[in-house]
Amino acid sequence: MLASPIAPTVDFDADGEQHGFLKLPYSRDDSAWGAVMIPVAVVKRGEGPTVLLTGGNHGDEYEGPVALSKLAGELRAHDVCGRVIIIPFMNYPAFQAGTRTSPIDAGNLNRSFPGRPDGTVTEKIADYFQRCLLPLADYVLDIHAGGRTLDFVPFAAIHVLDDKAQQARCEAAMRAFGAPYSMRLLELDSVGMFDTAVEEAGKVFVSTELGGGGASTAKSVAIADRGVRGFLRYAGILEGDGQPGTERRTTTLLDMPDGSCYTTSNHGGLLEMCRDLGETVTCGDVLARIYDTSRTGVPVVEYRARRDGIVVARHFPGLVKVGDTIAVVAIVVERDVVVAG
């Protein structure tokens, strides 16, 4: 297979703090000899595990980029035992455009793994993570949110894995992240996901959904900040005693066992959510109404919950199209589980 065209300007093996780029040559109409320059920071001291921290896998999700930009600016080599690789804006062209997918090739990075070295720009990025960065890492944390079109209660998540020991380590890492909610996912279609690539490589992997709408809040960023520190402590890279973010807190364990958690719209129109994120619903409750936008006075369409649970995700924009996911209802497995203290 061809070598990746991406060249890092940092030395992953050097101790200290480095700030550089993953340089991806990209010839185009407005720059014949141009490049996509993906920022990367490496903080390393001595031997120890490697943690790969990523944000911006989708370009319109902001808790990861904020928390990791902040961490990259604050973390010093003397704080760590081992190595932290920080890539706050994975799909950098998408991040710059503020869009889920890349404006260059419409690529959804999280559906592009394992990628191709001679593919599109997005495929080249996936390939570099797959073949160059993943082999360096022991622990991987990929911070997502809902982006401009979805909104979530804040949760960290792991998948049900065949390797139960690996799953247990992931689950412990998820608790160390310490989000208000913690989700166990049985992914129905995991083709092309970074998650799958990382898990198949045997790494300890946690992903998150920390809000959405294409914005972040002081509150959601605080969850990410604490979560990243917790994850690093879990990995043994950071010490934790008496540090900020080590105060006692709890999480609610959730599960999404099957497709009845999802409500898909068969109608386009103006969306009225009748239940907000985090609210408890009973099977049959009205979740949302959709109004005709071409005229007034016609009957409204109602969508009802198909199971008991809490609303963990919703369609964010005020207009909805046929085929959009309106809401997701998850089952509460256990409340008030202590995750740090």
Cα–Cα separations (whole angstroms), residue 302 to 34, 264, 329:
51, 12, 16
CB of 91 to its own copies, least distance (A): 12
CB of 212 to its own copies, least distance (A): 9
3-class secondary-structure state, position 268:
coil
Q: Which is nearer to its own copies, 50 or 101 (CB)?
A: 101
Among 12, 15, 26, 161, interactor with its own copies by CB under 8 A: 26
CB of 208 to its own copies, least distance (A): 15
321 binds its own copies (CB under 8 A): yes
Amino acid in position 176: A
Mask for 249-278, x = binds its own copies (CB under 8 A): ---------------x-xxx-xxxxxxx--
Q: What residues numbered 159-188 form the site for its own copies, per CB under 8 A?
A: none
Q: Please choose, from the candidates 126, 157, 164, 133, the residue with its C-alpha nearest in 3D space to the C-alpha of residue 50.
A: 133
Among 208, 316, 339, 340, interactor with its own copies by CB under 8 A: 316
Beta bridge partners of 37: 23
Which helix (H) or strand (E) element contains residue 175?
A: helix 164-177
CB of 143 to its own copies, least distance (A): 13
Q: Which is nearer to its own copies, 138 or 279 (CB)?
A: 279
> Judged by CB under 8 A, how many residues of this single chain contact its own copies?
95
CB of 198 to its own copies, least distance (A): 19
Q: Which is nearer to its own copies, 32 or 165 (CB)?
A: 32
CB of 301 to its own copies, least distance (A): 12
85 binds its own copies (CB under 8 A): no
* Token representation of residue 45: 């001291």
Q: Please choose, from the candidates 147, 151, 242, 144, the residue with its C-alpha nearest in 3D space to the C-alpha of residue 194.
A: 144
Among 79, 81, 138, 149, interactor with its own copies by CB under 8 A: 149
Instruction: List the beta strands (DSSP E) in the chain.
Output: 7-8, 16-25, 35-45, 50-54, 82-87, 139-144, 150-152, 155-159, 181-185, 204-209, 249-256, 262-264, 269-273, 280-281, 286-291, 301-304, 309-315, 319-320, 325-340
Amino acid in position 162: D
CB of 334 to its own copies, least distance (A): 26
Among 16, 25, 135, 202, interactor with its own copies by CB under 8 A: 25
Q: What residues numbered 191-250 form the site for its own copies, per CB under 8 A?
A: 191-192, 213-219, 221
Amino acid in position 183: M
φ, ψ dihedrals at 76, nearest 5°: -115, 150
29 binds its own copies (CB under 8 A): yes
